[in-house]
């Protein structure tokens, strides 16, 4: 039976050792990039999260064969029989990242036929950068009902200037450019670790890609793309969630395979709070301070503070000493977790995309709703320290983004459980203690 509630009890300090799976945001685009190849590729360290299942379904719908071993986290994809270039609206609507098939479909078939992904709760999330820049490469777009038809008799190289270093637009253009004769440059490209992992994969396939300062990707097109074997880069966002779980519970955790070199600004902020971060042969360790200081931060493209860790980091600010100012600059509506944290007793004021958090002594468990993947993480973290019991619904966001994070946390001392509707008794679950009403 599908779980619908995450039940979290106030937990003791978390202690122990954990390890990371591959980054969901890297896996999704790498699966899409396999459209360029003909043959059997093997991806390792693949998280069994719902977004990954959805992207596998997208490739199957194009006639690729896929076998995913969830125990060994190994995904085998055979693209030999892949012969379609049309993705149904029902698959496209499950996940915005499915727009990433457009670049490789254009490269392989000269056309792509996809439904337009809608906006989502964290913002409008248009695809204008994708469309505008494919047009510069000679692609023609026609919208028919729900479908966007993209086609080109001859895709040509171009100097692509992104007005914002969009992760998805960089990846999409990159995957079309690797098969476009001549040299394409992407100026102001996104260089997130997940984009760099895609570049590693594309090079393994045979692509010619160079990266120049300050943020230019230069691609010289080739014609043959071999299948690949690749271990996906570890998930820095899962790492962030685990370190914050140790921080908020005043515990200590070591992540055996974390990449501290791709988490610099986030780790610096944890240290500024007073937590001790060490990197050793055993891994990346956070030893929490009992009295953390509030810190302010502003999200931005890599190597700035990741927008995907904004909500989880905010949960940690709710109980820190002092005032924290959090500015979300990447997405225009990514503070919806604030309302739920306020229900738990957090003191937060929001003005447009800026939140001011004044640390409190206690949070209180209650029924909360996750509105997006990273909001679900923030609420789970707050639930670990809140008095009593927190019950979180909107659980599909948690399972879209994380593979068994609740089990990992439980193994190091967290009291949390996924529950189905019939196991969950709302009469006894939510903690009903009074807490100060927010003004």
User: 15, 38, 93, 125: which one contacts ligand UD1 (CB under 6 A)?
Assistant: 125
Q: How far is the CB of 411 from ligand UD1 (least distance, A)?
A: 26
Tokens of residue 197, six digits: 């992992």
Tell which residue, 175, 185, 173, 179, has the closest CA to residue 210: 185
CA distance 425 to 22: 35
Site for ligand UD1 contains 353 (CB under 6 A): no
Using the contact rule CB under 6 A, the part of the chain among 127-135, 136-144, 273-281, 425-433 near ligand UD1 is 127-135
Site for ligand UD1 contains 25 (CB under 6 A): yes
Site for ligand UD1 contains 383 (CB under 6 A): no
Cβ distance to ligand UD1 smaller for residue 78 or 192: 192
Site for ligand UD1 contains 435 (CB under 6 A): no
User: 61, 289, 307, 333: which one contacts ligand UD1 (CB under 6 A)?
Assistant: 307
Cβ distance to ligand UD1 smaller for residue 236 or 275: 236
What's the gap between Cα 308 and its chain centre? 6
The residue to which tokens 């079309």 are assigned? 176
CA distance 66 to 103: 20
Cβ distance to ligand UD1 smaller for residue 331 or 435: 331
Using the contact rule CB under 6 A, the part of the chain among 107-115, 160-168, 385-393, 408-416 near ligand UD1 is 160-168
Tokens of residue 257, six digits: 């395979």
User: 58, 102, 152, 169: which one contacts ligand UD1 (CB under 6 A)?
Assistant: 169
Site for ligand UD1 contains 161 (CB under 6 A): no
The residue to which tokens 């209180």 are assigned? 364
318 is catalytic: no
**Number of residues counted as binding ligand UD1 (CB under 6 A):** 23
Q: How far is the CB of 234 from ligand UD1 (least distance, A)?
A: 15
The residue to which tokens 């002092």 are assigned? 322
Cβ distance to ligand UD1 smaller for residue 240 or 413: 240
Using the contact rule CB under 6 A, the part of the chain among 52-60, 118-126, 136-144, 316-324 near ligand UD1 is 118-126
Site for ligand UD1 contains 309 (CB under 6 A): no
The residue of the chain with the least Cβ separation from ligand UD1 equals: 168
Site for ligand UD1 contains 129 (CB under 6 A): yes
CA distance 116 to 144: 10
The residue to which tokens 């948690």 are assigned? 398
The residue to which tokens 């036929």 are assigned? 113
Using the contact rule CB under 6 A, the part of the chain among 128-136, 239-247, 311-319, 378-386 near ligand UD1 is 128-136
CA distance 316 to 312: 7
Strand residue runs (E) in 272-322: 276-280, 283-287, 297-298
Q: Which of 48, 66, 116, 120 is the catalytic position?
A: 120
For 411, other C-beta atoms within 10 Å of its C-beta total 13
CA distance 304 to 308: 11
Contact 76, 149 (CB under 8 A): no
CA distance 434 to 432: 6
Tell which residue, 419, 417, 314, 395, has the closest CA to residue 356: 314
Sequential DSSP letters for 115-179: EPP--BTTB----HHHHHHHHHTT-EEEEETTEEEEE-SS----EEE-SS--HHHHHHHHHHHTT
Q: Which residues neighbour 407 within 8 Å (Cβ) at sequence distance 6 or greater?
A: none
Site for ligand UD1 contains 130 (CB under 6 A): yes
Q: How far is the CB of 192 from ligand UD1 (least distance, A)?
A: 6
Site for ligand UD1 contains 166 (CB under 6 A): yes
Cβ distance to ligand UD1 smaller for residue 54 or 254: 54
Using the contact rule CB under 6 A, the part of the chain among 159-167, 216-224, 255-263, 360-368 near ligand UD1 is 159-167
Q: Which residues are catalytic, by number?
A: 120
Binding site for ligand UD1 (CB under 6 A): 25, 28, 96-97, 123-130, 164, 166-169, 190, 194, 307-308, 330-331
């Amino acid at each position: 039976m599908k779980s619908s509630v995450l039940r979290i009890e106030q937990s003791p300090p978390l202690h122990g050792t954990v390890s990371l799976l591959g980054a969901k945001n890297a896996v999704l685009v790498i699966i899409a990039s396999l459209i360029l190849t003909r043959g059997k590729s093997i991806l390792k360290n693949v998280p069994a999260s719902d977004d990954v299942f959805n992207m596998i379904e997208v490739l199957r719908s194009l006639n690729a064969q896929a076998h995913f071993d969830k125990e060994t986290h190994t995904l085998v994809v055979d693209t030999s029989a892949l012969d379609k270039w049309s993705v149904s609206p029902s698959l496209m609507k499950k996940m915005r990242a499915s727009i990433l098939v457009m670049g490789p479909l254009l490269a392989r078939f000269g056309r792509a036929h996809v439904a337009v992904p809608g906006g989502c709760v964290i913002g409008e999330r248009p695809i204008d950068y994708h469309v505008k820049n494919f047009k510069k490469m000679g692609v023609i777009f026609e919208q028919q009902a729900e479908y966007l038809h993209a086609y080109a008799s001859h895709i040509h190289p171009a100097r692509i200037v992104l007005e914002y270093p969009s992760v998805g637009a960089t990846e999409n253009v990159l995957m079309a450019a690797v098969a476009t004769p001549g040299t394409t440059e992407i100026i102001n490209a996104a260089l997130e670790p997940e984009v760099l992992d895609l570049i590693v994969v594309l090079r393994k396939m045979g692509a010619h890609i160079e990266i120049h300062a300050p943020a230019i990707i230069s691609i010289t097109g080739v014609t043959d793309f071999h299948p690949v074997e690749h271990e996906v880069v570890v998930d820095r966002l899962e790492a962030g969630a685990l370190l914050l779980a140790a921080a908020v519970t005043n515990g200590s955790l070591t992540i055996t395979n974390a990449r501290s070199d791709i988490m610099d600004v986030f780790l610096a902020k944890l240290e500024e709070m007073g937590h001790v971060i060490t990197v050793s042969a055993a891994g990346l360790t956070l030893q929490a301070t009992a009295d953390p200081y509030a810190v302010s931060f502003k999200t931005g493209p890599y190597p700035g503070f990741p927008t995907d860790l904004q909500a989880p980091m905010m949960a940690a600010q709710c109980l820190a000493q002092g005032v924290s100012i959090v500015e979300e600059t990447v997405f225009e509506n990514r503070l919806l977790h604030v309302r739920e944290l306020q229900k738990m007793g957090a003191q937060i004021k929001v003005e447009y995309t800026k939140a001011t958090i004044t640390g409190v002594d206690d949070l209180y468990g209650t029924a909360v709703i996750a509105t997006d993947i990273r909001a679900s993480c923030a609420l789970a973290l707050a639930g670990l320290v809140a008095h009593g019991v927190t019950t979180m619904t909107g659980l599909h966001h948690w399972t879209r983004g994380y593979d068994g994070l609740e089990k990992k946390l439980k193994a190091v001392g967290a009291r949390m459980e996924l529950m189905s509707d019939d196991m969950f008794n709302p009469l006894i679950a939510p903690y009903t203690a009074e807490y100060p009403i927010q003004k």
